[in-house]
């Protein structure tokens, strides 16, 4: 992460960013409602963020992000949206995806989030829904991998199962009982 702020402080900046995008400013009660935190606690954190230069708190006007506060709020919001979209792609219900994204947005490496974002964009920009997502939907419901009955698919599945079990099988076309030790190599 680009800042040394606590997860809690980042959550505040994200909330203030989101509220400010809608209203142009954020009030303590708006932040309190968004984060489900009591107003006195919000005031305490807003004071800390003000002292650190992330927000400007004007009592009668509201809470405004400074450029560095806005940057962190924008980054955390983007991370949240990316992770939530990914979780929903893999059939996590939206309320759970939202809650889990709140946790993960602070923990994942920037490169990991970037690659998740690339995958989400790639899938969203596809002209058709990728067939493997439909296969994954069936797998989630049934526990069975629907991939057709082609030899290539069977071979891929056997390689994946072997890799999961810690082996590389060099010659998948050889029936299991006819393979020699040369065909099966432990993964190191």
Tens of pLDDT along 61-103? 899 999 999 999 999 999 999 999 999 999 999 999 999 999 9
Measured CA to CA, the distance from residue 95 to residue 151 in angstroms comes to 40
pTM confidence score? 0.72
- Choosing from 56, 72, 88, the residue where a domain stops is 72
Residue pair 38/107 in contact (Cβ under 8 Å)? The answer is no
Residue pair 34/73 in contact (Cβ under 8 Å)? The answer is no
Residues for the chain: how many in total? 188
If asked whether residues 87 and 52 sit together in one domain, one would say no
- Which residues of the chain fall below pLDDT 70? 1-3, 146-154, 156-157, 159, 161-188
Flag whether 161 is in a domain: yes
Flag whether 36 is in a domain: yes
Measured CA to CA, the distance from residue 86 to residue 53 in angstroms comes to 33
What single-letter DSSP state applies at residue 172? T
Measured CA to CA, the distance from residue 31 to residue 69 in angstroms comes to 15
Range of the domain at 179: 147-186
Flag whether 1 is in a domain: no
If asked whether residues 59 and 18 sit together in one domain, one would say yes
């Amino acid at each position: 992460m680009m800042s040394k702020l606590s997860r809690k402080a980042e959550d505040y900046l994200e909330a203030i960013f989101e509220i400010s995008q809608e209203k142009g400013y954020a009030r303590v009660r708006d932040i309190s409602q968004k984060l489900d935190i009591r107003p006195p606690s919000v005031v305490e954190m807003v004071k800390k963020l003000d002292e650190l230069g992330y927000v400007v708190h004007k009592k009668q006007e509201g809470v405004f992000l400074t450029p560095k506060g806005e940057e962190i709020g924008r980054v955390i919001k983007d991370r949240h949206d990316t992770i939530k979209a990914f979780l929903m792609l893999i059939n996590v219900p939206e309320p759970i995806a939202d809650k889990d994204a709140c946790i993960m947005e602070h923990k994942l490496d920037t490169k990991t989030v970037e690659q998740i974002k690339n995958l989400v964009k790639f899938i969203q920009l596809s002209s058709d829904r990728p067939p493997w997502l439909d296969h994954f939907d069936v797998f989630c419901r049934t526990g069975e991998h629907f991939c057709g009955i082609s030899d290539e698919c069977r071979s891929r599945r056997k390689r994946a199962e072997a890799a999961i079990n810690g082996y590389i099988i060099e010659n998948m076309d050889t029936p299991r009982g006819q393979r020699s030790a040369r065909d099966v190599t432990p993964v190191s």
